[in-house]
Structure 1
Amino acid sequence: MASTNPKTYEQTAPRKVAFLGLGVMGFPMAGHLALADHDVTVYNRSAAKAQAWTGEFKGKSAPTPREAVAGCDIVFCCVGNDDDLRSVVLGDNGALAGMKKGTVFVDHTTASANVARELSAEAKKAGVQFVDAPVSGGQAGAQNGLLTVMCGGDQAAFDTARPVAMAFSRAFTLLGGSGSGQLAKMVNQIAIAGLVQGLSEAIAFGMKAGLDMEQVLEVIGKGAAQSWQMDNRGKTMIAGKFDFGFAVDWMRKDLGIALEEAKRNGARLPVTALVDQFYADVQQQGGNRWDTSSLIKRLR
């Protein structure tokens, strides 16, 4: 597991855990659980990815979610969307069918608040607890074990999960009842969308004006314009490099969830809706898998 910032793990009692979904986020997150000496069983829809994980980390794999979660104290999950989440949680081979009573299910998928509430209700019927816990920090945050995790659910379930989840987190925070974690992630993505568009326009303007934009960013990055995006993506935006980080396809999925929720709750998101369409333009340019900072491509 690539890491530029070796993780120091908090001392906590080893627990028997499962991790469902070994994508670019789940693979290293599950790895940190193993490195923190928890007893980890993994499941992935593609068995080859699960085999790769067990080749790199101490732990085992299972062919179905139901088998992976058997006997576990905590089950973690990170998959693609609402439907993917339902597919690993519900049904005869889903996680709920195999979890013992009292188990805590922690879902790190960025999904809708509705599916979080739905699965929380299903979990309660089965005698288990559900925490919606989407993350921020991207692939680098997952690899370095420094994710920010926004949680919704019951205090008791949160308190059970937190010491274990700190293996891959730098902050793991309860923000309210079921669905609150997903709503907070929507706030996060709304804020990022407008910020990246503003940074794109600023850099494109400065380049058109003939400025040395690396020098300009060094200067304004020490003032009120400073942001994580400027510090970490400014120079690569100038260089036209977009082969890392969070993909445009994923951002459009997240913004779609936020825009749908805004229709429900009456919030007005004019800038978010506009930036979502700008990302559609980037997709039309073939940038589906480019980093979200590729918004600047539209302006060149």
Structure 2
Amino acid sequence: MSVQTVSQGPATEAGTPRAGVIGLGMIGGGVAVSLARSGQVPTVYDIRPDAADKLAGVPAPVGSPAEVARASDVVLVAVVDAEQARTVLLGENGVLAGAERGLIVVLLSTVAVPVVHELAQACAKAGVALLDCGVTPGDKAAENGLVAILGGDETTVQRAMPVLTGFAKRVVHCGPLGAGMATKIARNVITYGTWRAVHEATTLAGAAGVDPEKLITVIEEADPEGATLFSWQRQRLAGVAQPLAAQVARLLDKDLAAAQELAGQLGISLPLTDVTRAHGPETLGAESGKDA
């Protein structure tokens, strides 16, 4: 999967597409605020009539997603799940009910990749293009601080770009339709998997009598930029990891065996550690003698 990175550009040029936002929760509300700050005051909709009351520069919601579509060239959909996305796009007063041919829908909600293709097919029948666009970090949405993780064809991406750069600090075009959602889902695997790893590590340290805050201090001091997280994968991508893989696999096995032994003595379960040790050679590319 190729990745194209597009840096932020001007968002207030003449002819900038009209923006709409559906769903004014943390993500959608923040996106609407950022667009307004960028000079692209969006037409908005939310099931709560007062949803925009505390959103700086954002007007009151219109009556339906269809009204947003009629007033917009690019509609950003920031609802909770796939069912809500279907409702706001395909419902009786949904986006497609008010859409003219050429409208672009940008799906900000995290849904399964097959749902992206399902919704794209429904949109295409109405002459509407759909882009999948995972976003992160959600708490920076109102500060023009999101990274937009985009999937879709290049022509549609470029047409939507003035709106995307109106709320995102960085737009990363990851590939065709579905690629943005796949990248966001993969990012979430890292997030939640890391949380689990930290949980197991702090539980182990705590059971051994170590203040978990001391562990945090050690990690932050030893790796202040978090470079370790991607260090091995970067070496694999650069083609320089393979000569070291067998040696690192032995170290991984030795170190995680020690963690398992300590956990057994303390009566602690470390399921992620168990899986990581079992799949160590595969993780490191040492199993087959080939790098991935």
Give structure 1 stretches of 5+ with no counterpart.
1-7, 231-269, 275-300
Decide whether the 8 Å contact of 2:20 with 2:72 is kept in 1: yes
Partner of 1:16: 18
Decide whether the 8 Å contact of 2:49 with 2:60 is kept in 1: no
Q: Which has the higher contact order (CA 8 A, sep 6+)?
A: 2
Structure 2 Cα separation of the partners of residues 144 and 9 of structure 1? 16
Distance 1:60 1:49, change over 3 A: closer
Decide whether the 8 Å contact of 1:32 with 1:145 is kept in 2: yes
Structure 1 Cα separation of the partners of residues 89 and 192 of structure 2? 30
Structure 2 Cα separation of the partners of residues 119 and 86 of structure 1? 7
Structure 1 Cα separation of the partners of residues 95 and 54 of structure 2? 22
Larger displacement relative to structure 2 (76-85 or 127-136): 127-136
Distance 1:210 1:225, change over 3 A: farther
Partner of 2:156: 157
Structure 2 Cα separation of the partners of residues 225 and 41 of structure 1? 42
Q: Could you say which structure has the larger radius of gyration?
A: 2
Partner of 1:280: none
Q: Which amino acid aligns with 1:23?
A: G
Larger displacement relative to structure 2 (163-172 or 79-88): 163-172
1:33-72 to 2 correspondences below 5 Å: 33-53=35-55, 56-72=56-72
Partner of 1:255: none
- Tell me the TM-score normalized by structure 2: 0.69
| SS of aligned partner of 1:210 | coil
Decide whether the 8 Å contact of 1:12 with 1:164 is kept in 2: no
Decide whether the 8 Å contact of 2:147 with 2:171 is kept in 1: yes
Identity %: 28
Q: Which amino acid aligns with 2:181?
A: Q
Equivalent pairs counted in the alignment come to 222
- CA displacement 1:164-183 (0-9 Å, x = unmatched): 21232222122122222211
- 1:220 to partner: Cα distance: 2.3
Establish whether residue 98 from structure 1 lines up as the match of residue 98 from structure 2. Answer: yes
Distance 1:149 1:204, change over 3 A: same
- 1:60 to partner: Cα distance: 4.3
CA RMSD in angstroms, aligned pairs only: 2.6
Structure 1 Cα separation of the partners of residues 221 and 161 of structure 2? 35
Structure 1 Cα separation of the partners of residues 54 and 137 of structure 2? 24
Structure 2 Cα separation of the partners of residues 33 and 23 of structure 1? 15
1:199-214 to 2 correspondences below 5 Å: 199-214=198-213
1:75-224 to 2 correspondences below 5 Å: 75-138=75-138, 140-223=139-222
| SS of aligned partner of 2:158 | helix
Q: Which amino acid aligns with 1:146?
A: G
Structure 1 Cα separation of the partners of residues 203 and 225 of structure 2? 17
| SS of aligned partner of 2:26 | coil
- CA displacement 1:236-262 (0-9 Å, x = unmatched): xxxxxxxxxxxxxxxxxxxxxxxxxxx
Q: Which amino acid aligns with 1:31?
A: V
Q: Which amino acid aligns with 1:147?
A: L
- CA displacement 1:56-89 (0-9 Å, x = unmatched): 3243421100012213111111001110000000
Structure 2 Cα separation of the partners of residues 44 and 63 of structure 1? 8
Distance 1:30 1:51, change over 3 A: same
Decide whether the 8 Å contact of 2:70 with 2:99 is kept in 1: yes
- CA displacement 1:25-46 (0-9 Å, x = unmatched): 1111111111111131100012
Partner of 1:292: none
Q: Which amino acid aligns with 1:167?
A: G
Structure 2 Cα separation of the partners of residues 45 and 227 of structure 1? 40
Distance 1:51 1:213, change over 3 A: closer
Structure 1 Cα separation of the partners of residues 41 and 140 of structure 2? 22
Give structure 2 stretches of 5+ with no counterpart.
1-7, 230-270, 276-292
| SS of aligned partner of 1:48 | coil
Structure 1 Cα separation of the partners of residues 142 and 207 of structure 2? 37
Q: Which amino acid aligns with 2:125?
A: K
- Tell me the TM-score normalized by structure 1: 0.67
Partner of 1:29: 31
Partner of 1:243: none
- 1:212 to partner: Cα distance: 4.1
- 1:199 to partner: Cα distance: 0.7
| SS of aligned partner of 2:42 | strand
Structure 1 Cα separation of the partners of residues 75 and 212 of structure 2? 47
- 1:52 to partner: Cα distance: 4.4
